[in-house]
């Protein structure tokens, strides 16, 4: 949890103020996989009438394990997805893609991730 806190602080600090090196939407893309997983899990728990902080086995890595991937394969898949999403944010920043388009892309990704994870157990 300390590592997550430090990464979140670094991204917020890098995207805010006069010395910012990236846009806030770029920070969302860099932190996309853990952010998507956390928000989707909390929404699903609330929709089921449970506490958003209650433990369960519906995180992305649990779905990969249930799908038959080994722990090592699951870690590499997650690293690949996180790297891909962070790369999108990084290259979009360099290509001067408007923040509104990147934010709409993030919302679309969130919707696709939420739908996919909601149907993954079936």
pLDDT band for position 122 (cuts 50, 70, 90):
low
pLDDT grade, residue 27 (50/70/90)? very high
- Looking at the chain, list the stretches that DSSP marks H as alpha helix, in order from N- to C-terminal side: 2-15, 24-30, 32-47, 60-66, 71-94, 99-119
Residue 93 domain-assigned?
A: yes
Q: Within a domain: residue 18?
A: no
pTM of the model: 0.86
Residue 8: predicted pLDDT: 87
Residue 4's pLDDT band (boundaries 50, 70, 90)?
confident
- In Å, what is the CA distance from 21 to each residue of 44, 65, 120? 34, 37, 37
In a domain, 103, yes or no: yes
Distance from the Cα of residue 21 to its chain's centroid: 20
Does any domain span residue 97? yes
Q: Which of 55, 70, 3 is nearest to 31 (CA)?
A: 3
Q: For residue 74, what are the domain limits?
A: 23-119
- pLDDT at res. 29: 95
Whether 32 is covered by a domain: the verdict is yes
In whole numbers, what is the pLDDT of the chain averaged over residues?
92
Total count of domains within the chain: 1
Compute the half-sphere exposure of residue 84: CA atoms within 13 Å on the CB side of its CA: 8
In a domain, 6, yes or no: no
5 within some domain: no
Q: Is residue 30 part of a domain?
A: yes
């Amino acid at each position: 949890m300390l590592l997550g806190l430090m990464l979140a602080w670094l991204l917020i600090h890098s995207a805010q103020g006069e010395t910012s090196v990236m846009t806030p939407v770029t920070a969302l893309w860099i932190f996309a996989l853990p952010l998507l997983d956390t928000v989707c899990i909390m929404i699903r728990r609330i929709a089921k009438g449970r506490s958003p902080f209650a433990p369960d086995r519906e995180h992305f890595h649990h779905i990969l394990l249930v799908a038959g991937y080994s722990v090592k394969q699951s870690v590499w898949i997650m690293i690949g997805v996180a790297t891909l999403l962070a790369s999108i944010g990084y290259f979009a920043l360099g290509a001067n893609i408007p923040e509104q388009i990147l934010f709409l892309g993030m919302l679309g990704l969130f919707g696709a991730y939420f739908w996919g994870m909601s149907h993954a157990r079936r």
